A and B are shown apart, each in its own frame.
Chain A
Amino acid sequence: MTPGGGSAALLEARGISKRFGGLAALTGVSLTIARGEIFGLIGPNGAGKTTLFNVLTGLYPPDAGECFLEGERLTGLKPYRIAARGIARTFQNTRLFANLSALENVMVGRHVRTRAGVGGAVLRGAATRAEEREIEARAFELLGYVGIAARASLPAYGLAYGDQRRLEIARALATEPKLLALDEPAAGMNATETAELRRLLERIRASGVTLLLIEHDVRLVMGLCDRVAVLDYGRKIAEGTPPAVQHDPAVIEAYLGGALA
C-alpha cells in the first residue's frame, strides 16, 4: 500500500521503535489515525505514550520505523518542520513561555504561518503592519475560543492551572495544525474543568482538526475518543473502539494484572 495517497489516513506510524540505553521505550508500534477522528492513546505510566509523542513531533529520532503525515514522510525532520507540516502539540507538564503574556504566547504560535523577517521588522511597511494586526487579532480570537480572553495580558505563569492548559491548546491551534496532539490535557483538572475541556475538544474536532490524545482520565477517553490504542511496556497491545478496548483481556491484564500480581 502506498502511504496516504488520498486515503482517509492523516497520520501513519509504522513500526516505531525507540530505546534509551537498555530500556525499550517503544517496540514496533504502528498506528493509523484517520482524518477528523479523536484518537486516544492510553496505557499505564511508563508505557511509552509520551515517547511516542516525542517521536511523532520530531523531538526524538526513532531507532526504527517511520511516520507519515498525509503520506509525506516526517521521520528525520526537525520539530519546527513537523510543526510547519501540520502537527502541533501540548506538553505533559505545560511548557508555556512563562514570562510572556497569554496573548504573546499565542502570537508566538502564529510564527510558523507568518513571514516578516528583519527587514520587515525594521522598516515595518504596510505588509508587515497588516501581518502584525492579523497575528494579534487571530491570537485574541483563539484566547476567546478557549475561553481565557479576559486574561490575555496576564503573564502565563500567573494563570490558574486549568487556564494554562487551555492557553497551551490556543497556542498550538495558532499554528493551524491538521493534527493536534494533547499530552494529558485533563491532568490536574477538576470535574467541571474536565467537562469544559471535553466540550472544547469536541469543538476543535468539529472545526476540522484531528485530535490525538494521551489521557489517564478513563471516562474522558471513553466518552470522547472514536478509537483508542493501548500501550504497555512500549508495545501496542490493543486498538479499537473504546468499548471493544475496555473488554479486551490484554488491556484488563495490563491495567489490573500488574496491580494484583
Chain B
Amino acid sequence: MSAQPQSGAGRFTGRWRELRRDPRFAWAAVLALALLLVALPFLTDWIAGRTWVRIAAFALLYIMLALGLNIVVGYAGLLDLGYVAFFAVGAYFYALLASPHFDLHLPFWLLLPAGAGVACMFGVLLGAPTLKLRGDYLAIVTLGFGEIIRIFLLNLNAPVNITNGPQGVNLIDPIHLGDLSLAQAHAVLGLELPAVYNYYYLFLLLTLAVIFVSMRLEDSRIGRAWAAIREDEVAAAAMGINTRNVKLLAFAMGASFGGVSGGLFAGFQGFVSPESFTIIESIMILCMVVLGGMGHIPGVIVGAVLLVVLPEALRYLGPLQSLVFGRVLADPADLRLLVFGLALILVMLLRPSGLWPSALRRRELAAAGGRA
C-alpha cells in the first residue's frame, strides 16, 4: 500500500485523465456531440416546446456573431463596440435584395457570400479610420460607427426610399436552397421536419464552417500576426508585420462572419428593422466573447449559448413564482433583467478570465494580477 491513499474522487479523476488521452475517447466524444446536435431540435421540441427550437437557432446565429467579434477583440485585441453594424449590413443586404421592397428576389446561395463580402468591405471601411487608435479611443470610435449605420438605416427612406426607415423591410423571402424552401415542412427518412428545424440545420452547418475557419485562422501565420499586434504593436511592426493590413484583415474577417449571420437572420425572421441593431446588441455580443473567454473558441461558444438561453430561461420566473408562492410577487420582466445582470457580475467576479478561458488568457490575467 502506498503512503498516499487515494480518495475515491482522486482515483476517478486519474481514470478520467487516462480516458481523455485515449484517441478512441476523442472520437466517441465527437460522435456523441454530433448526435446530440442533430437530435437537439427533436429533444428540445419534445421537452420544452417549439419556441426552444427557435431559441436554439438563434443561439447558433449568435455563436457566429460572437466568433466574428472574437477575431477582432480576442485575436487582434481591438476593442470594437459597434460590431452589430456588420450584422445589420448583412441583414439589410439580404432583406433589400430578396423581398418585395425593390421586388428583387435574388437566390440565397448568391446573397449569402455576397453579403459576407459587403460586410467585409464595411469592416475595412470602418476599420481604416481607426487604425491609429487603441483601447478606449478605438472603443469610442467603433461605438460611433455602430450607431451611424443604425441611424442610416433608420433615415434612408427619404428622399429616395432605400431602407424603408423605421418600418423596416417586411415579407423577406424565406431561405431557399434551389427548389427547397426552408419555410416549409419536409419529410426526411419518415421524420417530419418543420420549418424551424430546417433553419436550425442550415445554421448548424454554417456555424460549423465559421468555427472551422476561426480555428484555422487562429493557428496560422495570420493568427500569430494578430496575436503579435495584440501583445505589442511596435515590436510587431519592427518584426516586419504590416500592422495596418493585419488589423484591417481582422476587421474584415470579423465583419464577414457578422454579414453571414445577418443574412441568415433576415431570411429566418422575414423582417428586419433598425431596432434589431442597437448598441445593446453590440454589448451583448461583446459580453458573450468576454464572459465565455476571449480568444478561446469553445469559451466564446459557451458564452454565446448562455447569453441567448439565460434570458429566455428567466422568463419562467413568473410561472415559478406562482408555483412556489401561489401568486406572482415580482414582475418577471423586471426580475429577469435583474437576475441576468447579477449573473453577469457574479461570473466576472468569480471567473475574471471568462467561463472557459484559453490557457493563454489565464496566463495573461495571472500575469496582470501579478504585476498589479
Task: Write the residues of chain A forming the contact surface with B, with a CB cutoff of 8 angstroms.
Answer: 57, 59, 78-80, 83-84, 88-89, 91, 95-100, 104, 107-118, 120-122, 124, 128, 131-132, 135, 155, 157, 171-172, 174-175
Contacts and interface: CB of A to CB of B under 8 A. Distances in A.
Interface stretch (B95-103, B128-136, B172-180, B237-245): B237-245
Given A96-B232, A98-B232, 10 more contacts: A59-B237, A83-B238, A88-B239, A99-B360, A100-B231, A112-B241, A116-B220, A116-B221, A118-B222, A131-B221
- Tier of interface size on chain B: 20 to 34
B224 interface: yes
B32 interface: no
B221 A97 contact: no
Contacts of B217: 118, 121-122
A83 B234 CA distance: 12
A98 B367 contact: yes
Identify the interface centre among A100, A112, A171: most chain B CB within 10 Å of its CB: A100
Report the 7 A-B pairs with minimum CB-CB distance, sorted nearest first: A112-B240, A121-B220, A83-B240, A97-B231, A95-B235, A79-B237, A108-B228
A111 B240 contact: yes
19 contacts: A57-B238, A78-B237, A79-B238, A88-B238, A91-B238, A95-B232, A99-B367, A100-B224, A107-B224, A108-B224, A108-B239, A109-B240, A111-B228, A111-B241, A114-B221, A116-B222, A120-B221, A122-B217, A174-B239
A114 B225 CA distance: 12
Contacts of B222: 116-118, 121
Contacts of B220: 116, 120-121, 124, 128, 132
Given A116-B220, A116-B222, A98 B239 contact: no
B360 A175 contact: no
A166 to B, nearest CB: 16
Contact of B239 (A99, A118, A122, A171): A171
Given A95-B232, A99-B360, A155-B363, A59 B224 contact: no
Contacts of A113: 240
Contacts of A104: 224, 227
B249 interface: yes
Contacts of A109: 239-240
A81 to B, nearest CB: 8
B364 interface: yes
Contacts of A107: 224
Nearest to A113: B240
Interface string B332-369: 00000000000000000000000000001001100100
A99 B364 contact: yes
A76 to B, nearest CB: 15
Nearest to A157: B367
A57 B236 CA distance: 13
